[in-house]
Amino acid sequence: AALWTYPLTPVVLSSRSYVAGRQCKSTAKLDGKVVIITGANTGIGKETARDLAGRGKVIVACRDVAKAEAAASEIRAETGNQQVIVKKLDLADTKSIREFADNFLAEEKDLHILINNAGVMLCPYSKTADGFEMHLGVNHLGHFLLTFLLLERLKQSAPARIVNVSSLAHHVGRIRFHDLHGEKSYNRGLAYCHSKLANVLFTRELARRLQGKSQRRAEQFSAWLLSITANSLHPGSVYSELVRYSFVMTWLWRIFSFFLKTPREGAQTSLYCAVAEELESVTGQYFSDCRPAYVSPQGRDDETAKKLWNVSCELLGIQWD
């Protein structure tokens, strides 16, 4: 066995390095800045919070407050930053989203980075408190509403960034306007893919609208260009709790864990989009492995993006022009 171990070691190390991918190398500090990360009590969200807590103030926004407090306590002890604050946020309930936003706006004067990270995957068919299919409701509509409610504070704090965690799975997704909530037919794998495509389209349309308004404001007032960027990303295939609703996927994830990114490795592109200096004026893009990545044709469909925006507003009962 020893004879085989030595020559294979470089191969193993090289393979593991390839799986781990690129790292966010920015050392940017966030002194005096405020970050919100949804779903930051586990997985890549927790690792994103851990890194950013070494740079500035972090709001950990989670449904499971007890689990979030345990994660926040661990991060505080490790980083020495006491400004890691847990707030209740259930993205499957618009009432909870509005309560979170109201409390945040009452307590915090600034918001510089919003990382829409939380998500569900492979859920058996179910609906949110408001009657939305769970994947669409949590992964897309919940973050759509949260961003809407916090956008003015982001504008007041500009330059600011919005980071939406999507997935390579968006390539398989389609926006099925005739059956958004899967009432006619439902496949939980495809439902996840559809919601991840919605993340990409939302980011694209949000960036377009923000960019247009910024340009008009600068032209009208000859003022400094309002700087709010919105980008989406694929974190990689990460060994995390996201597959917990599927026994088969959980089993496969354990067997092939060597070929999956750790949560820390999976957090690198989120961090890159949140703090990298070279992305200061980059918006409406999709990243993977800390660099621009290919977007599927359906993810570049501006008409679908506009229609999804309007339908999302109707479902949530909001006006967002």
* Strand ordering across the sheet containing 84-88: 84-88, 56-62, 30-38, 113-116, 160-165, 228-234, 286-288, 291-292
pLDDT tens profile 46-68: 999 999 999 999 999 999 999 99
Distance CA 107, CA 89 (A): 15
List C-alpha distances in Å: 262 to 170, 217, 268.
21, 43, 10
Structure tokens at 206: 């949000």
Distance CA 309, CA 303 (A): 10
Class of domain 21-211+224-316 (CATH, top level): alpha beta
Identified catalytic residue from 6, 125, 186, 192 = 192
Q: Does the pLDDT value for residue 231 go beyond 50?
A: yes
Least confident of 82-91, 235-244, 280-289: 235-244
18 catalytic residue (yes or no): no
286, burial (CB in 10 Å: exposed 0-12, middle 13-18, buried 19+): buried
Signed CA dihedral, 17, 20, 22, 23: sign only: negative
pLDDT tens profile 67-76: 999 999 999 9
Structure tokens at 132: 């939305």
Q: Does the pLDDT value for residue 244 go beyond 60?
A: no
Please give the model's pTM, rounded to 2 decimal places: 0.88
pLDDT at 118: 97
List C-alpha distances in Å: 34 to 99, 111, 209.
19, 5, 24
Higher-scoring residue by pLDDT: 20, 271: 271
Per-residue pLDDT band at 261 (split at 50, 70, 90):
confident
Distance CA 103, CA 149 (A): 11
Q: Are 60 and 40 in contact (CB under 8 A)?
A: yes
Per-residue pLDDT band at 4 (split at 50, 70, 90):
very low
